[in-house]
Amino acid sequence: MNLKRLWAIFKARNHEFFRDRAAFGWNFIFPFLIVGGFVLMFGGDSRNEYKVGVFPAGTGTFSVDAADIPARFRETRYLQFIGFADEADGLDRLKHHKIDFLVKAGSRTNEYWVSDTSPRGYIVEQLFNHSLVPDASQPLAERRKIRGFEIRYVDWLFPGILAMNMMFSALYGVGYTVVRYRKNGVLKRLKATPLSAFEYLSAQMLSRIFLLMFTTVIVWVGCDLVFSFRTVGSYGAILVIFFLGSLSLTSLGLILAARGTSEEFTSGILNFISWPMMFLSEVWFSLEGAPDWIRSAAKIFPLTHMLTATRRVMNDGATLADVSSELTALLIMTAVCLVIGASLFSWNR
């Protein structure tokens, strides 16, 4: 391997990325927009878990304290009360699951409506009926409390947004780009030079890893300054996990870059891989409670192991030794993808 040739391709690929102002800016702006949007939508009072409609709410600003509904129900935590002018308006929202429960204020029989297809509505119904029972405030079981700290949804989501950004950048930045070079004849011209396939693939991979780590660190620092994430574990451990994750994702992109000259077909394959990976790797939501076969299938994706390790370090204070199984899985996936990508690579087909 000639290091000068590898360095030349490495620099050329980096210059190409930095000169593309649109792509360069989007790699920074996109994570900020996603995190900021979720903070605006879900960054309010996290206690407002269940939505309860109350009618008639009258005119002006609705105040649950002035509503004629059972006092113990009104004072129950984790309920958000929303006023409606009439019954029809509230039933329409309930029918479309925009609210979980509907109660009529001032009703002597405590009339309420609930959808029989809503699990959340069932929970609120039990709370409502419990609030009507005399002496319900007297507990029938022994209560024990634990002391802990709240993990905001944005704290849980942020590693997923970064990992998703890395995934798209790695797959499209390597797989799609190399296929485009092959289609345009760039690889055919490079084949006529002393550059070997190993040197070219190594330079592409190193360049992409450098760019991924550079953008990830900048986005992390910027978002942390704005949203003040709570990180329990070591930043160094998180950096190592992201590095191994970028290595694994980039090596997966090399398999897609090994063959093919059709950009349309490559784009379809990239979507076929990236979208299931994004939804099954817990980027947006947890798979806790999902069928065992789905949780097992999710482990074939490098993104799953990277996010599992990152969240354990960030939210639970785990060390690299604690997440050694996830790191080992990333290294194995990297080695397998590199062998497959190198063996399948072709300059012109």
pLDDT tens string 70-80: 888 888 888 88
pLDDT attached to residue 101: 92
Tell me how far CA of residue 115 lies from CA of 3, 83, 92, 110, 121, in angstroms: 67, 18, 11, 17, 6
pLDDT attached to residue 150: 59
Cite the residue boundaries of each domain of the chain with CATH code 3.40.190: 50-132
pLDDT attached to residue 138: 60
The answer on pLDDT for 94 being more than 80 is yes
pLDDT tens string 179-215: 888 888 888 888 888 888 788 888 888 888 898 898 8
What is the residue-averaged pLDDT of the chain?
82
pLDDT attached to residue 24: 66
The long-range contacts involving 8-11, CB below 8 angstroms and separated by at least 24 positions, are: 8/203, 9/195, 9/199, 9/200, 9/203, 9/204, 9/207, 10/203, 10/206, 10/207, 10/210
The answer on pLDDT for 134 being more than 80 is no
pLDDT tens string 260-275: 777 777 788 888 888 8
pLDDT attached to residue 179: 83
> What average pLDDT does range 55-71 have in this prediction?
78
Task: Record the pTM.
Answer: 0.72
Least confident of 20-29, 216-225, 237-246, 252-261: 20-29
Domain 50-132 falls under CATH 3.30.300: no
The answer on pLDDT for 23 being more than 70 is no
pLDDT tens string 137-161: 565 555 565 555 556 777 888 888 8
> What average pLDDT does range 303-330 have in this prediction?
92
Phi/psi zone of residue 44: left (φ > 0), alpha (ψ -120 to 50 degrees), beta?
beta
The answer on pLDDT for 309 being more than 70 is yes
Percent pLDDT > 70 in the chain is 88
How far is Cα 55 from Cα 105, in angstroms, rounded to an integer? 6
The answer on pLDDT for 5 being more than 60 is yes
Confidence of residue 310 (pLDDT cuts 50, 70, 90): very high
pLDDT attached to residue 58: 66
How many CA atoms lie within 13 Å of 34's alpha carbon, on the beta-carbon side?
Answer: 21
**Residue 33: what are its φ and ψ, rounded to 5°?**
-65, -45
pLDDT attached to residue 255: 86
How many CA atoms lie within 13 Å of 35's alpha carbon, on the beta-carbon side?
Answer: 28
Confidence of residue 47 (pLDDT cuts 50, 70, 90): very low
pLDDT attached to residue 117: 83
End-to-end Cα, the chain, rounded Å: 23
**Two tokens, residue 34:** 């996603």
pLDDT attached to residue 1: 65
